[in-house]
A and B are shown apart, each in its own frame.
Chain A
C-alpha cells in the first residue's frame, strides 16, 4: 500500500466535493492511503498573491510545514493550491528569509493529475479496469496552472501536454486532439467579471463540440465549475446551445474501476453527464 499526505483545499469541501469523493474513491481501489493534513488551512489562492506577497507565502507555507512532519509525498488536487505551494517551495529554497512561517522546502508536492497519470498507476489501471470506456470521445482540458509556469510545474510539453491524454486512453476512451488544452477559463474572475468567464467558456465549449467530443475532462475545480455551470447562461445570451458534460478525470477512473459511488459523484454536476454516458453504454 502506498501512503501519501492529502491536502484537499477549500473548494473540494464545497462546490468540488465530487472531485474529493472520487479521489478518495479511486485511491481506495488503487491501494493508496490518503492522510489528510491535520488542521489544514486555506492556501490564500489568487486573492493572497494578487494583494499581499508575504501572506501569499505564509498561508501555503503553514500547510507545507504540517506536511513536513512526515516524509510522505503531498497530494494536491486543486491547481490553485498546487501553484501556491510550488511558489512557496521555491521561495523556501531561494529566499527562506521571506517566509514568515518556518518551512524547509523538502516536501514532494504532487498535483493529482501528475500523480495519477504516472506510469506505475497506468499499469495498475490496465490490470484493474473492469469497464473500459471504449467508444467515448473526450477532449482533455488541462487549463493553466497544471502546466504553467513550467519552472514550477516541471511540465516539459506545456504548450501541448499529453499526460492526461495518456491517462484517458489507458481508460479506453479516445482522446481527441484540439488546440484549447491549456487555454484559460477565467478562473476566479467568475465572481466579479462573469461576462469574461462566459466568453472564455463559450469558446472552449464550442471548440470541444467542433472536435466532436462527448465530454470535457479536467483536473481543475475552477475549470470544471466555469465550464459546467455557465452553459445555460451562454445559451440565453445567444452564444449557442451546449449540453456538454465536464468531468473530473478521477470520475472517469472510478467508472472504469467500477467504483460503487460513481453515480453519486456524477449526479452533482449541473450539466447532466448521464445522457451521454448511457448513450455510449456505460450506465
Chain B
C-alpha cells in the first residue's frame, strides 16, 4: 500500500466507470462461479483450442487405454522384420519386428507421464517461490529471483546430459534414483522449467497484494499464509494454468530431444524421443519408423500449444466474449 492520500476521487471515478456497478438491490445472475463459466465459454469458442483439447483427450486415451489392446511393445517376431504399415501392424514393424504402433503408444505413456509430472512439479515449485518473492518483496524477493535467474540461465541440454550421465544416485533412506529413468528425468526437467512460472506468479502476486481486498483480509486479522493461499493464489489461477500448459509442451520437446541424443529414457523402454533416435539411420528405407513417432510428438505439442493459447485468451479479461 503506497500512498493512500488523496485517492478518493480516483477510486470513486473508477467505480462510476465500472460496468459492474448495478442499481441497488439488483442481483445479476449468470449463476455461480461465473468467472470460470465465462472462461469456459470463451474457450469453447476458440476452435483451435477445442481441436487441440480433443486431440489430447484422444492421445491420452490411446496411450493409456488403447495400448492395453495393442501388442506387447517388446515382443519380437523374427518372421516379419521391418514391414511397412499393414492391417496387422498399422504403423509397421521395426528391424526386430516389434509393432511400431504399440511402441508409439507405450512411448507416449512415458513421454506424457513425464510431461505431466514436470508440469505439476515445476508449477508447485514456481508457485511457491513466486508467491513468496512477490508477497514478501525486499531481500527475500531479491534472493529468490536471483536463484530463479540462476536456473533459467543454465544451458538445458549440457546440464541434463551431465546430470543423466551421473546415472543412479543413492538417496539414502529414499532408495536409489536413476537420473536417466522416467522419475529422474521428471525431476531434472522440473528443475529447469519452474523459472518462468515463478516469474509470472511473482508478477501477479506483486499486483494482487496491493489490491484492497488483501487489505480487507488483513483488517479482519488474516495471517500472511492465509492471505497468500486464500486471496492471492486463487486470483492468479488463470496465468498459472496457462503456464503449466506451456510447460507440458516444453517438457515433451526437451524429453524428446534428450532421448534423441541418447541421454534420456534408455531402450528397450520406448519413449517418443528414443523411437526417433533409433530410426534416424533408416529414414530412407523404413520411413514409418520415423514418421509415426515424429507425428505423435508434433501433433501433441501443437495440440498442447493450441490449448494453452485458448486458455490464455479465455482467462484474459481484456478479451470480451464475442456474442
Do A and B pair up? The answer is: no
Give the A-binding residues of B (Cβ under 8 A): none
Give the B-binding residues of A (Cβ under 8 A): none
